[in-house]
Amino acid sequence: MDLARRAAEETAHPTPVGEHLGMQAEGDRVLTHYFACLDPAYKGWRWAVTVVRAARAKVVTVNECVLVPGEGALMPPPWVPWIERLRPGDLGPGDLLPTPADDPRLAPGYTETSDEAERQVQWELGLGRVRVLSAEGRAQAAARWYEGTAGPRTPIAASAPAQCSTCGFYVPLSGELRQMFGVCANEYAPDDGRVVSADHGCGAHSEAVVVPPASEAPPPIVDEMGYDLMPVSALTEETDEQAGDEAAGEGAAERR
């Protein structure tokens, strides 16, 4: 035990080593001693020092000294490969996302001869492509789109006047997906250029608004109780002109 403690203290230096927590036999003449780890960064961990005595030897030596997690130890999360950590939107310019050869979302365009493959080729000829969407790939895409923001359960679809399937801007997809999905081609719609479900909808439906027919302009309203403000100079000139006209009229009457 003293040999194991000295080895743990040498490895943990300058952090001290805690109390002895027990021991465990690993085999013939092989024993592991456990000591509490007092490093605050490794709470719940413990030092494991394995000592061994070789056959026909009289001296015990240290085999290894490592930190191992104990009960309540702070552990890192399980390792997840990067391909499984990737999320939509993480792929940037220059990034490559290799597709596994056995990806269940894809199927060979011409090599399979099963009935499912024949139906698949009927919808997706796959000209110029090695692989096309498999039935599983189509099902995953349909479920993802239908439950997303372009499906029928969004607030904008609930308040829409009609469904996308009756809109003139709705362009159906090809293949089996055309039964449920299409692309919005209305530049004023929030889903312009995106895949939407047939029962989705928004306020930019082609038949949402009926423009009322043009009517005749209302007759002008004459306000006889109103008045207009005129500048004093204009009033003076108008008064002089009226006075001149009246004087000319009176002179003509006297001549008669």
- What pairs with residue 27 in β-bridges? 30
Residue with tokens 């000295």: 6
> Where are the domains positioned within the chain?
2-69, 138-197
Beta bridge partners of 22: 34
pLDDT tens-digit readout, 191-245: 999 999 999 998 888 887 655 555 565 666 666 666 667 676 655 665 666 666 6
Tell me how far apart the alpha carbons of residues 48 and 91 are, in angstroms, rounded to a whole number: 43
Q: Is 34 helix (H, G, I), strand (E, B) or coil?
A: strand
Q: Are the beta carbons of 63 and 30 closer than 8 angstroms? A: yes
Q: Is the dihedral of CA 241, 243, 247, 253 positive or negative?
A: positive
Mean pLDDT of all residues in 66-85: 86
Contact criterion met (CB below 8 Å) for 15 and 38: yes
* pTM of the full structure: 0.46
* 181: phi then psi, degrees, rounded to nearest 5: -135, 155
pLDDT bin (cut points 50, 70, 90) of residue 30 is very high
Range 152-168 average pLDDT = 89
CATH for the 2-69 domain, from 1.25.40, 2.60.40, 3.10.450, 1.10.101: 3.10.450
